[in-house]
Amino acid sequence: MFDDLRDLYQEVIFDHNRNPRNFRVMDNADRKVEGFNPLCGDRLTLYLKMSGDVIEDASFQGSGCAISTASVSLMTEIIKGKTEAEAEALFKTFHEMTTGKDENIQLEAVGKLAVLAGVREYPARVKCATLAWHTLDAALKNEQKSISTE
């Protein structure tokens, strides 16, 4: 019935929505930043544990739609073990993938995150996918204020 939506709602997204990974409070976090999308009320808190410039651990809490939950869940998986510079680079590629006009985006570079590529066809939902990443960007820049997509 929802054939048109297969690009947007892939099975991986349903899976991460049902069972979000790294969904916990991190008591000994080095970085803690809140992200908020006032348009839909999506809200998340991102926790990072750093070891030098390497992200040793990442977790989150919050509530949102399937796209935003899957995005943050996948993100926390993929950034673990990455350096700040690598995570920043990934943020830029992800942003390009979800908002850019370039059709030849290197999906291999983003690994599993490619399941969110379909969001580019749904402008109203891009913010759902990018909220987690803007929050990460703030955390990497060590900004303490909460992050809004508006």
Q: Give least dist CB 8 to other proteins, A.
A: 7
Pull the structure tokens for residue 73.
């869940």
Whole-angstrom distance, CA of residue 83 vs CA of residue 54: 4
Whole-angstrom distance, CA of residue 10 vs CA of residue 116: 8
Residue with Cβ nearer other proteins (28 or 124): 124
47 phi-psi bin (left φ>0, alpha ψ -120 to 50, beta other): beta
72 contacts 62 by C-beta, under 8 angstroms: yes
Residue with Cβ nearer other proteins (7 or 56): 7
Which residues bind to other proteins, rule: CB under 8 A? 1-2, 4-5, 8-9, 14, 17, 39-43, 63-67, 122, 124-125, 128
Residue with Cβ nearer other proteins (128 or 136): 128
Whole-angstrom distance, CA of residue 100 vs CA of residue 85: 21
Residue with Cβ nearer other proteins (41 or 81): 41
Q: Give least dist CB 70 to other proteins, A.
A: 11
Q: Give least dist CB 1 to other proteins, A.
A: 5
